[in-house]
Amino acid sequence: MRALIICHPTPKDIRSVIHLLDDDYVVAVDQAVLDLYKQRIKIDLAIGDFDSLKNHGVLTNLNVIKLAPEKDVTDTYQALLEANKMGPDEVIIIGGIGGDRIEHFMVHLMHFDAFNNLRIIDEHSEIFMLENQDLKVSFKGYVSIFAYPDAVVNLVGFKYPLNNYPLTQFDPLGISNEVTGDATISVKKGRVLVVLSKKDR
């Protein structure tokens, strides 16, 4: 079972971003409730302080957790905690990249520390974590890796290869690489965030 956490800014067509499954547990965060309502996607849980939701009527007949506006965690983090109670095999944040509140996206990147099976996706990008593992990559866009916070990495089959490179938290060397052949990211030590970004926008 997958837990899907839908956040603002929400993709205009979620079904074009991810194939929805019958057993997906769908959590709508705050104003994403309205987006899911418009796209006719079922909501298993609506969570937030709903200060951004203009039409509270859409909450009628939904399973709702109402949070206080003044709190120590974001609505999305609380949604992750609630979804994790379901014991999902995978947790995916859909949306939540960019938008007019960029600080929320920055916090989303911090959530990989507590939820290492997390993925974040939208129409243009996918973000996930690799820890002490190898991954074959055939992606045609830009492939970026960022240490989380430190890693030793090999990149084979990329325009800019690396061999046992000690990537540190504030080293931007891993940005905007491209696959040129049979490509593999090997994280020999530590953790990295991988960002896949489409070229055609």
DSSP assignment string, 136-168: EE--SSEEEEEEEEEEEEEEEEESS-EEEEEE-
Q: What is the pLDDT at residue 201? A: 57
pLDDT in tens, 82-129: 999 999 999 999 999 987 788 888 999 999 999 888 999 999 999 999
Closest to 33 in 3D by CA, of 9, 59, 14, 12: 59
DSSP code for 174: G
Q: What is the pLDDT at residue 59? A: 86
Q: What is the pLDDT at residue 51? A: 80
What are the residue ranges in the chain where pLDDT is below 70? 201
DSSP code for 58: G
Place of tokens 């109402």: 66
Q: What is the pLDDT at residue 37? A: 93
Q: What is the pLDDT at residue 180? A: 96
Q: What are phi and psi of 154, to 5 degrees?
A: -115, 140
Three-class SS state of 72? coil
Q: What is the pLDDT at residue 4? A: 98
pTM of the model: 0.92
Q: What is the pLDDT at residue 120? A: 97
Looking at residue 197, its amino acid is S
